[in-house]
Amino acid sequence: MASTQPQSGRKRRSGSTRRRSRPLIGITTSDHKSFLAWWCDWISVWRAGGRPLRISPARPLRRPVDGLIIGGGDDIGAQRYGGEMQLDVRIDPARDELELELLARYLPERIPILGICRGAQIINIHCGGSLIEDIQTTYRHIRNRRMVLPRKRIEIEPFSQLADILNRRYCHVNSLHHQAVDRPGDGLKVVAHDRDDLVQAIESDRHPFLIGVQWHPEFLLFSRSQQRLIRALVDAALERKPAAVENGSPCRNAGSRGKASARHDRQPAPGRRAQQKQADEDTHDR
């Protein structure tokens, strides 16, 4: 009778290979983000085949990532896009700086990037665009309801990258924002809008995967179409070859108002002790 031990060994090696092949996906968050919200981020990326890594002002990025999700959160400081300062909103200047630095670093390397809610807005600001500071103040006739469940109907532009990923022209999404993209930044185009004609998604016509959506697909774990968006990012990160890196940002006017300092463009590789510490932190995040 043939031994089954070699087969068992092959299975273990195969599993190990699969773990090693998961691309590292950085996810930016606030330091005060709730465990439940982070769990939704983590499980969405893990289910899609990626390895999630939390990035926040208190947990800055210490090693290269294969893909990047700029997550939702507090309002962006009005000074970043020439808006009027509002005293009744919560902002996170340290996170603004962190995410603008990440975009300045990784957009020229053309790694896949997905912006979610606030993330879509800061991508737009980095590329020189502007925001609607408060939807109901600017458009009093619009009832901007906040909803976690997918109740808002949006229309997606045909032949866009987003339409190709979601495989549909119309869908229902959630809505947790009071700001929105106003004027698209350089190299960006509007690819989805709602019934009030507010921008719901943007994408780049110069970058292989630079998409921003105003809703939260990570909260819609039960929606196959929304999870395809996360999977598309992970697949793009997996397929991307380091040798294919091109110089130059797809946003020619990147950061006319929001461009971060380039002093963090490259960080020295961490030593073994730092790598082990980061690995321990990754395990704790799970």
Q: Which residues are catalytic?
A: 117, 216, 218
How many other CB atoms sit within 10 Å of the CB of residue 264?
15
92 to 120, 139, 165, 231, 260: CA distances (angstroms): 16, 25, 32, 29, 15
Residue for token pair 């699969």: 18
Residue for token pair 């321990």: 280
Residue in 24, 235, 202, 48 with CA at minimum distance from that of residue 129: 202
Structure tokens at 66: 């294969």
State the number of CA atoms in the 13 A half-sphere of 226 facing the CB. Answer: 21
| C-alpha to C-alpha distance for 16 and 34, rounded to whole angstroms | 31
Q: What's the chain's length in residues?
A: 286
User: 14: which residues sit within 8 A by CB, 6+ positions away?
Assistant: none
